[in-house]
Amino acid sequence: MTPRTLFIIILRVLGILSLKELFIAIPQLISAIVMFFQGYSISGGLFMIVISLLTVALVLWISYTLIFKADFLVARLGLDQNFTESILPDWSPAVFSGVKIVLALLIIGERNRILQFLEKSPNAEGNEK
């Protein structure tokens, strides 16, 4: 995974999480509209509706930008700059672990033969002939 893809994933997750704010802003907009039609002051009701509409629009714009324009944001903000990547990653720990697993499986699978080999004594072989 490159740093660029990591930042794109992080930005998209943040965009999805920001959609939660939309579920908070919409009820505020609905309550402002209800307040406006219930006979409260017109200026106060209009102010609340405008603020609620701006909040919903801002949250939608932020979510849209983070989810669908993450590539643009990474490039524009230079998030993937100054990261060094090795062309060939160091595989020695993985190879060493793999060899240990294979050896352990071979020992478990051939434990009877190993025990028979260890239990034979040099004198027992000479007496059997």
**pTM for this prediction:** 0.59
Mean pLDDT of 55-63: 93
Q: Which tops the pLDDT comparison, 56 or 83? A: 56
117 shares its domain with 72: no
Mean pLDDT of 48-73: 92
Whether 115 is covered by a domain: the verdict is yes
- Does residue 123 have a pLDDT over 70? no
- Does residue 61 have a pLDDT over 80? yes
Query: Domain span at residue 104?
Result: 92-128
99 shares its domain with 40: no
Alpha-carbon Rg for the chain, nearest whole angstrom, is 34
pLDDT tens-digit readout, 8-28: 999 999 999 999 888 888 888
- Does residue 95 have a pLDDT over 80? yes
DSSP calls for 38-102: TT--HHHHHHHHHHHHHHHHHHHHHHHHHHHSHHHHHHHHTTTTT----SS---HHHHHHHHHHH
62 shares its domain with 22: yes
- Does residue 72 have a pLDDT over 90? yes
pLDDT computed for residue 63 by the predictor: 94
When divided into structural domains, the chain yields a total of 2
